Chain A
Amino acid sequence: MSEPLLETRTLVKSFGALKATDNVSIDLRPGEIHAVIGPNGAGKSTLIEQICGGLVPDAGQVFLEGRDVSAWRTQARARAGLARTFQISALCMEDSVLENALLGAIGAMGASWRFWSGALTRPELRERAEAALERVGLEDEHDTQCASLSHGERRQLEVGMALTLAPRVLVMDEPMAGIGAGGSKKLTELLDSLRETAPILLVEHDMDAVFALADRISVLVYGKVIATGSAQEIRTSRAVREAYLGQEA
């Protein structure tokens, strides 16, 4: 079995009396999509924030390619190849699609301290941004202002911006949130094709997408991982049905 690219070890995070993350140890191996599912309030977003550097865990560590990155800030983790997408699109709405993608390229290539040359005219930045946009199917929208993109296209751009980082690991917080069936199918295909580029830790509510994509699934309830296994194992697990799936599937 190959070494995990991303791993959490016994993460604990409490907010007052509420244990939002309770001894969570999960990992992400090369080439796989590992979905994290669970009811609302199970602590999925809290877990993602700790992995990406937005929240400091009370205990436990986060490892990225074998390195303990627990004390690293968000920016440092991003530069090390940890790319994420947000549940609520965090895009620069006033800027064009290409400018948004360029931001990722600028970060990845350490170009933010270049003051004189035009961001749009530097070939190495542009190539990287354009390649990422092509990958997510936004190559015809370079000049479109982000605010006038459809919701589904924004989700695509979220993924595209993560790709400009040349990620080692992708962490996606509900990429399907709020898009219709057609968009969801398109995005599922896209994510499916990405697993060889970088493994994906996928937090998602859309069960069709999860069961179609995930190589492994972990179920989070009240901050605890109650089961990890293949789609088939999770579907038939009694504990999971009682805790979560029974309500929906």
Chain B
Amino acid sequence: MIVNERAINALVIAGLVGLPLWALVMDEPFTITLVTRAVILALAAAGLNIILGFGGMVSFGHAVFFGIGGYTMGILAYHAQTYTALDLGAFTTGGTKSMPLIWLAAMGLSAIVALFIGLLSLRTSGVYFIMITLAFGQMFYYFAISWAQYGGEDGLSIYVRNDFPGLNTLQPIQFFAICFALLCIVLFVKARLTASPFGLALNAARQSGARVETAGLSPLRLKLLAFVISGAITGLAGALFADLNRFVSPSMFSWQLSGELIVLIIIGGVGRLMGPVIGACVYVALEHVLGGITEFWHVYLGLILLSIVLFARGGLIGLLTGKEGAHV
């Protein structure tokens, strides 16, 4: 069965809009929350896909940015809800409950950390790159566990979801709309980026570093910028994820989460625009359906992953379109 990739993409987007609307009509708020979760995970994986799919770098520490986004939201909202001051050295703030401000802070902070991690890790490649990014992930994880001021191992609860001007974010459908809109914006930006001279050069850097240097470009700089953009997007997803659950905990920094993001991309299709979105939808659906049947649903997820890696290297999109590579 050969299907046009555009048709698949359109179908997925239609499903992501249709299902929550149907749930709204049927008064099933839980389904809306489920789809929102898939959208946020898709956003996080879309960030990772920029460096994994287009840059060829397997970051096993992308939970760092997810966690930074989460804790940025948690800490800012915690100070706002407890009316305590947050001392940032240069200035103090009372925290904030405004989503746009939290997003900006989450993306900015993630970008700065990504710049730092990228400078150190991008000089390596292959297994070493995986290990360095994993090590950074674990550092942040254990730091969060021991950070008693913000809940340590227990995490931080935020009682009321943060505000977005003009919307009631406590309504699941409205919060879903925010997340979905952000996902669409990110996917659009990513599509433009991929087709741009920068995207072409980044894609070339993945295939032949020597060639890119000979063309007068620095592969390291290209990859570093991609890493920063990637970190910022995953950071944004982290802030949304924390807002969805109204809870932040060190598990957002865990290596399992880094691994899950990679799994999402592999299921959907590495380097494909919609790969992370399809992967996230399948993942959340399996988690919900299989998780309801058996506690050991990860076994089945593992089997699915195994068959995709063995028989459908291009992920589900590759399987459906009959094209293994994203760039072919």
Contacts and interface: CB of A to CB of B under 8 A. Distances in A.
Contacts of B212: 103, 107
Contacts of B208: 90-92
Q: In the complex, which of the residues A76, A84, A94, A102 has the most CB atoms of chain B within 10 Å of its own CB atom? A: A94
A86 B210 contact: yes
Contact of B197 (A52, A84, A86, A122): A122
Contacts of B325: 94
B24 interface: no
Contact of B195 (A91, A111, A118, A164): A118
A52 B216 CA distance: 11
A112 B208 CA distance: 16
B100 to A, nearest CB: 22
Interface residues of B, number: 26
A114 B204 contact: no
Nearest to B325: A94
Interface string B193-224: 10111111101100110111111111000100
Contact of B210 (A90, A95, A108, A113): A90
Interface majority SS on B: helix, strand, loop or mixed?
helix
B211 A91 contact: yes
Contact of B196 (A75, A103, A104, A118): A118
A93 B214 CA distance: 16
Interface in B169-204: 192-193, 195-201, 203-204
B41 to A, nearest CB: 25
A114 B216 contact: no
A125 interface: yes
Contacts of A84: 214
B196 A78 contact: no
Contacts of A15: none
A100 B198 CA distance: 13
Contacts of B214: 52, 74, 78, 83-84, 86, 90, 161-162
A107 B200 contact: no
B7 interface: no
Given A75-B217, A78-B214, A90-B211, A95 B204 contact: yes
A115 B193 contact: yes
Contact of B222 (A99, A112, A117, A145): A112
Interface size class of A (residues with CB under 8 A): 35 or more
Contact of B203 (A75, A92, A118): A92
A212 to B, nearest CB: 26
B198 A115 contact: yes
A165 interface: yes
B193 to A, nearest CB: 6
A95 B271 CA distance: 14
Contacts of A103: 200-201, 204, 211-212, 215, 217
B210 A106 contact: no
Nearest to A104: B215
22 contacts: A54-B210, A74-B214, A75-B213, A83-B214, A86-B214, A91-B211, A92-B204, A92-B207, A94-B207, A95-B204, A95-B327, A100-B204, A104-B215, A111-B197, A112-B198, A114-B196, A116-B196, A117-B196, A119-B195, A119-B199, A145-B328, A165-B216
Given A94-B328, A103-B212, A164-B215, 9 more contacts: A74-B213, A78-B214, A84-B214, A94-B203, A94-B325, A102-B197, A115-B193, A119-B197, A120-B195
